[in-house]
Amino acid sequence: MSLVSLNSFYVLAGAFVLATAVRVAMDKGHARRWSTALFWGLLGACFALGGSMPPTVAGYLVLGMTILAASGRVGMSRERSTGREERLASAQRLGDRLFWPALLIPATAVVGSLFLGRVRWRGLALVDTANLSVTSVCIGAVLALAAGLRLTRAPVRDAVGEGSRLIQTVGWALILPQALAALGGLFARAGVGTVVAGLVERALPTQFSFVAVAAYCLGMVLFTICLGNAFAAFAVVTGGIGVPLIVHAHGGNPAIMAAIGMLAGFCGTLLTPMAANFNLVPVMLLELEDKNAVIRAQAPIALALFAFNLLLMEFCVYRF
């Protein structure tokens, strides 16, 4: 038991998404306000009630959101935001202080992961120790929101309004990380990893330790490109290639393998339009003509990082 649990932040996020659904439903000028409000309402219910909701019910809610998104029934409200001149004036007034709230999130994540798990009050842990890092990130987000409101002297309703406008701009792509991560879990349960391991062992000389590392890192990149999410790829590739070949066959360190393997997978995230929330949403926000502009800019960095992660794993995984 803990005083601050991860579920509390899921409920808070759900309340915010439900508030977005209400705002959309009240927008009489919205061309698809009822279907869009329903989409955000279903998502908000998943977040707010997911801890107590039967998995079957959650599955039907996700199917409902998928149908609404796939049929083009999710649109964006034309809510009034601040004008360009007002934003420029605010940016000039605040200067680099605008970054302070954002920096609170990683700072709190690091400090919380290192120290908050040791804090107890009347026999109860202060923070959910089973999900310490993620809970620390959530605490950092709340602190960043409070700091941002104090810095800008904006009312809470502005935070809700601008946050609502932002997630509506992202649209249905907002649910891709969760959906794809779940897909990776389904692939793992279905035995896709075992099939992949058999194909790799037959096609490559995995008796060499470097070949096992290369197969794992490249598998993380390719599966991430196909699935759009390194978390989805991780369950399949680690269970199918990483554990049997690097850990069992060559005695590699599983912690180092998993950490660097995720970094290799993130290189694939930079290269795929399937990661729509990373690579397509910025194109829409910036109104770029080239839909692959973000991917083109990221590709050289992604390939260089992949090569570095490959060599880093080969150096570290069998030595530490």
Prediction pTM value: 0.72
**Among candidate residues 265, 214, 274, 200, the one with its CA nearest the CA of residue 235:** 265
Model confidence at 217: pLDDT above 90 = yes
Q: What average pLDDT does the segment 142-149 reach?
A: 91
CA dist 248 to 52, 202, 259, Å?
38, 17, 17
Greatest mean pLDDT among 13-22, 160-169, 283-292: 13-22
pLDDT for the residue 213: 92
Model confidence at 80: pLDDT above 70 = no
**Among candidate residues 153, 157, 270, 267, the one with its CA nearest the CA of residue 218:** 267
pLDDT for the residue 173: 75
CA 277 to chain centre: 9
Encoded tokens for 11: 């409920």
The Cα–Cα gap between 276 and 152 comes to: 31
Task: Collapse the DSSP code of 275 into the 3-class scheme (helix H, G, I; strand E, B; otherwise coil) and give the result.
Answer: coil
Model confidence at 183: pLDDT above 80 = no
The percent helix, strand, coil of the chain (3-state, each to 5) is 75, 5, 20
What residue spans define the domains of the chain?
A: 2-70, 84-154, 191-316
In this structure, are residues 223 and 237 in contact, taking their beta carbons and an 8 Å threshold? Answer: yes
Encoded tokens for 120: 């107890």
